[in-house]
Amino acid sequence: MVMRLSGLASGLDTDTVIKQLMTAQRAPVDKIFQKKKTVEWQRQSLLDMNTKLYDYRNNKLFNSKLEGNLSARKADLGGDTEAISVVPTGDAQPGEMTVKVKTVATAASNYSSSEITIDTTFDPNATLDSQKTKLFSPFTNNTVVINGKTVAFDPSKDSLNAILSRISRETNVSAFYDASTGKVSLVAKQTGKVNGASGAEDKITFDGSLLEDSLKLKTGPYDTDGNGTPDANPQEKSAVDAEVYVNDMLIKRTSNTFRINGLDITVKKASNRTDADNPATYTGTTISTSTNTDKILETVKGFIKDYNEMLKTLQDKVSEKRYRDFPPLTDEQKKDMKDKEIELWEEKAQSGTLKDDSILTKLISKMRSAIIARVDNGSSKYNTLSSIGIVTGNYQENGKLYLENEEKLKEAIEKDPQAFIGLISANGNGDPKGNDIGVAERIYTAIDDAMKEIKQKAGTSSLLSDSSILGLQMERLNKELDAGNQRLVEVEKNYYRKFTAMETAMQRYNAQSTQLSNAFSAG
């Protein structure tokens, strides 16, 4: 540790003098700090741009090039409009069909024939062993089988509710105990005939003394009044498949929602009819499917809007002004500035960090090329965006898109829908030059390539050192900065050593001078 004597003998303000000397020594280190800060800002700007590109690619452009959105259909219902609901997919073909609902699919169920307990203090959350004397009937084994699925339990550890919960998790049946009725309920998770070990039966099948004896679940007819004759089982409900006439052809499905000819149909109730066995008496539901031109127009307009916004974001960033007279501020410089002054300074200092960035300028060029390029679309005349009414603005607008002729776009959608879809979203068929790839697909690929380049250049964080170009640069600058700061510490110590030596010498000289003066005065 250096002993510091601050001007006691010389009268100098040693700390101030050394601080001034250190200012000159600190200049090269400050430049390294400013360069490091600039690299941090550049990395962060690239990472922020990468986030925007990801959002545009995945949440906007991807939806715009989905064939389902470019071939949107609408379905209008007539007749008995309450029997079904319909959602058309992009595969639905224009035309009409008639649907008549004979039966709605229902799920199989079963519940206890009577209360399962003989003691009101029965606790369904306590272990079965602790509660078995309170059950109506004891159980003799530690497994149950439901629809062919075996579920094991440990009565010394598992409660009734725990077992029923396990049944619900491990089988295709939901099970629960209702304390108010003292009964257990089983309900199939799917509608239709999906039960039993075969997965095709109309009733829930089960086995095991816990279910049959203790929980009083019965399957099939049983002697309810004790007269020795099996009676109907009122607790057991058989599943029913959905039965639907489509253009008078009977179709059966286990679920009430199914797809036919590109239409997702949901059965809601049986059709109005006078004779369930005679489909001629049914009031059918007519489905009229057609191209949803308005929805497709909305998708295309969204594509144009999102493209323009992304293009402007890129262009603004690569053309942003660089203020070279506003380098990053050091901590020492900030001490003499107000918060607002710091904010305004750093706003200019961070401006232009991506000016003329090669990755972004290349992406802009690819995006604009994709917009104006011809797509090999077979013999169709719809092979450029301009052929469907989408054009770019004047030169000063840097490639901004406009829907100039909506009627042209509608004509392409309605007259040659496959060519329209191909122009926007075709994946290509192996053309080495990619001439058969759609506009949106080309932009998607260009953005994907740019994002990979950004990752190679900037890594994943503006602060972490990694193998990216800027990450390695930051690692080198950090080492230089650490070495520079260590050198400043040694320089400052050396200055203090020299001033301390000077002060010590002057004190010694002053002491000797005083002694001599006193000696002469005494003589």
Strand partners, 85: 266
Same domain flag for 61 and 174: no
**Type of residue numbered 140:** T
Same domain flag for 351 and 383: yes
387: left (phi over 0), alpha (psi -120 to 50) or beta: alpha
pLDDT above 70 coverage of the chain, percent: 95
Domain limit, last residue, from 174, 198, 214: 214
Same domain flag for 163 and 275: no
Task: Supply the DSSP symbol for 400.
Answer: -
| DSSP secondary structure letters along 105-167 | -B--EEE-SS-SBS-TT--TTSBHHHHGGGBSS----SEEEETTEEEE--TTT-BHHHHHHHH
Instruction: Report whether pLDDT(312) > 70.
Output: yes
Same domain flag for 429 and 308: yes
What sign does the CA torsion over 99, 101, 102, 105 have? positive
With a CB cutoff of 8 Å and minimum separation 6, the contacts of 514 are: none
Instruction: Report whether pLDDT(16) > 60.
Output: yes
Instruction: Report whether pLDDT(5) > 70.
Output: no
And the tokens for 110?
């079963």
3-class DSSP state for residue 517? helix
Same domain flag for 368 and 445: yes
3-class DSSP state for residue 284? coil
pLDDT band of residue 1 (cuts 50, 70, 90) is very low
- Rounded Cα distance, 3 and 16, in Å: 17
101: left (phi over 0), alpha (psi -120 to 50) or beta: beta
In the predicted model, what is the mean pLDDT of residues 188-216?
Answer: 95
Same domain flag for 441 and 424: yes
Strand partners, 237: 109
- Rounded Cα distance, 405 and 395, in Å: 20
pLDDT band of residue 33 (cuts 50, 70, 90) is confident
Same domain flag for 122 and 51: no
And the tokens for 205?
């099948």
pLDDT band of residue 247 (cuts 50, 70, 90) is very high
Encode pLDDT of 157-181 as tens digits.
999 999 999 999 999 999 999 999 9
Whether residue 486 is contained in a domain is answered as no
pLDDT band of residue 333 (cuts 50, 70, 90) is confident
Q: pLDDT at position 481, please? A: 84
Instruction: Report whether pLDDT(7) > 60.
Output: no
Same domain flag for 247 and 286: yes
**Type of residue numbered 281:** T
Whether residue 507 is contained in a domain is answered as no
Task: Supply the DSSP symbol for 192.
Answer: S
Same domain flag for 116 and 261: no
Whether residue 255 is contained in a domain is answered as yes
E strand or H helix that includes residue 258: strand 257-260
Whether residue 523 is contained in a domain is answered as no
- Number of domains into which the chain is organized: 3
Better-scored residue on pLDDT, 409 or 331: 409
Instruction: Report whether pLDDT(148) > 60.
Output: yes
Whether residue 281 is contained in a domain is answered as yes
The least confident of 3-17, 232-246, 464-478 is 3-17
In the predicted model, what is the mean pLDDT of residues 203-229?
Answer: 88
pLDDT above 90 coverage of the chain, percent: 65
Cβ 279 vs Cβ 101: under 8 Å = no
Nearest CA-CA partner of 263 in 395, 89, 105, 57: 89
In the predicted model, what is the mean pLDDT of residues 309-337?
Answer: 91
Whether residue 436 is contained in a domain is answered as yes
Nearest CA-CA partner of 175 in 139, 151, 209, 199: 151
Q: Name the residue with tokens 């309920």.
A: 185
- Rounded Cα distance, 326 and 116, in Å: 83
Encode pLDDT of 115-128 as tens digits.
999 999 999 999 99
- Rounded Cα distance, 357 and 320, in Å: 11
Whether residue 250 is contained in a domain is answered as yes
Instruction: Report whether pLDDT(112) > 50.
Output: yes
Structural domain that includes position 260: 73-105+241-291
Task: List the alpha helices (DSSP H) in 242-287.
Answer: none
Residue 318 sits at the vertex; the CA angle it makes with 315 and 324, to the nearest 5 degrees, is 145
Other C-beta atoms closer than 10 Å to the C-beta of 23 total 11
Better-scored residue on pLDDT, 249 or 523: 249
Instruction: Report whether pLDDT(4) > 60.
Output: no
Same domain flag for 257 and 357: no
Same domain flag for 56 and 77: no
Same domain flag for 164 and 209: yes
Q: Distance between alpha carbon 326 and the CA centroid of its chain, in Å?
A: 39
- Rounded Cα distance, 277 and 94, in Å: 31
Instruction: Report whether pLDDT(20) > 80.
Output: no
Strand partners, 249: 246
Return the top range by mean pLDDT from 150-159, 500-509, 510-519.
Answer: 150-159
- Rounded Cα distance, 205 and 210, in Å: 14
Domain limit, last residue, from 173, 196, 214: 214
- Rounded Cα distance, 280 and 245, in Å: 11
pLDDT band of residue 515 (cuts 50, 70, 90) is confident
Whether residue 101 is contained in a domain is answered as yes
Let me know if 27 is exposed, middle or buried by CB neighbors in 10 A (0-12, 13-18, 19+).
exposed
Nearest CA-CA partner of 358 in 457, 267, 485: 457
And the tokens for 388?
């469907």
The terminus-to-terminus CA distance of the chain in angstroms comes to 44
Encode pLDDT of 410-438 as tens digits.
999 989 999 999 999 998 887 778 888 99
